[in-house]
């Protein structure tokens, strides 16, 4: 499937494009936003290279990340991004990660976007499991994952060397069999 587009009640998830670089830099360069993320751009050129490096990636290709732009459906501005990592060792499992610009945090957009991507991956794309890795200090992210019905599968103590320190890693996941029984209303709580 080339260049998928996912529509939710308020959002459109579509491939991140070169023209999004300035907006992405605007929130990804904020130290508070990227505190728990490995991509911490110092310059606009860092973001341009990041997006250019994603361009050859085709959605649902094992061993690659595919990055979605998170846009308001009605007006179209970029408010964040959402990544999907198709596992090389088992392409039936997908890792997700998301970032929302500070001006749009706390309004339910992350929950809506994550619910939308899970519905897409476990529905028409027919994946078995979607999971996310999160620093346990990132309470807003954990809240989103729990709100969409993901459950904590693991808490690994000091398992990652990240930004100069050993940090814990929590894994949240949901199976297709767990998601399929949910209604759309439950998914967007």
pLDDT tens digits, one per residue of 21-67: 999 999 999 999 989 988 889 999 999 999 999 988 899 999 999 99
177 occurs within a structural domain: yes
On the question of pLDDT at 188 being above 90, the answer is: no
* Cα-based torsion angle of the residue sequence 78, 84, 15, 53 in order, rounded to the nearest 10 degrees: 100
Cα–Cα dist 80/14, whole Å:
11
148 occurs within a structural domain: yes
Question: Which CATH number goes with the domain that contains 86?
Answer: 3.40.630.30
Q: How many domains does the chain have?
A: 1
182 occurs within a structural domain: yes
User: Region 169-180: what's the mean pLDDT?
Assistant: 96
116 occurs within a structural domain: yes
2 occurs within a structural domain: no
Q: What is the pLDDT of residue 59?
A: 95
Read off the DSSP letter of residue 144: H
pTM: 0.92
Cα–Cα dist 138/35, whole Å:
9
Q: What is the pLDDT of residue 56?
A: 85
Show the domain range for 133: 7-187
1 occurs within a structural domain: no
68 occurs within a structural domain: yes
Read off the DSSP letter of residue 38: S
Exposed, middle or buried: residue 16 (CB in 10 Å: 0-12, 13-18, 19+)? buried
171 occurs within a structural domain: yes
pLDDT tens profile 85-107? 999 999 999 999 999 999 999 99
Cα–Cα dist 150/132, whole Å:
9
Residue the block writes with tokens 């979607």:
130
Exposed, middle or buried: residue 136 (CB in 10 Å: 0-12, 13-18, 19+)? middle
Angle between helix 21-28 and helix 44-54 axes, rounded to 10 deg: 120
On the question of pLDDT at 183 being above 70, the answer is: no
On the question of pLDDT at 6 being above 80, the answer is: yes
């Amino acid at each position: 499937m080339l260049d998928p587009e996912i529509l939710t009640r308020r959002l459109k998830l579509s491939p991140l494009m070169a023209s999004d670089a300035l907006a992405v830099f605007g929130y990804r360069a904020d130290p508070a936003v990227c505190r728990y993320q490995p991509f911490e751009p110092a310059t606009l050129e860092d973001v341009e290279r990041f997006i250019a490096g994603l361009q050859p990636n085709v959605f649902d290709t094992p061993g690659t990340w595919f990055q979605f732009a998170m846009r308001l459906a009605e007006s179209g501005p970029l408010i964040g991004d959402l990544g999907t990592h198709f596992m090389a060792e088992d392409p039936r499992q997908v890792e997700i990660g998301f970032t929302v610009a500070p001006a749009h945090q706390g309004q339910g957009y992350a929950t809506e976007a994550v619910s939308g991507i899970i519905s897409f991956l476990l529905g028409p794309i027919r994946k078995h499991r979607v999971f996310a890795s999160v620093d346990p200090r990132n309470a807003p992210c954990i809240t989103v994952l729990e709100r969409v019905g993901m459950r904590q599968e693991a808490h690994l103590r000091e398992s990652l060397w990240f930004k100069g320190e050993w940090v814990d890693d929590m894994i949240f996941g949901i199976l297709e069999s767990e998601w399929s029984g949910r209604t759309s209303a439950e998914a967007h709580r």
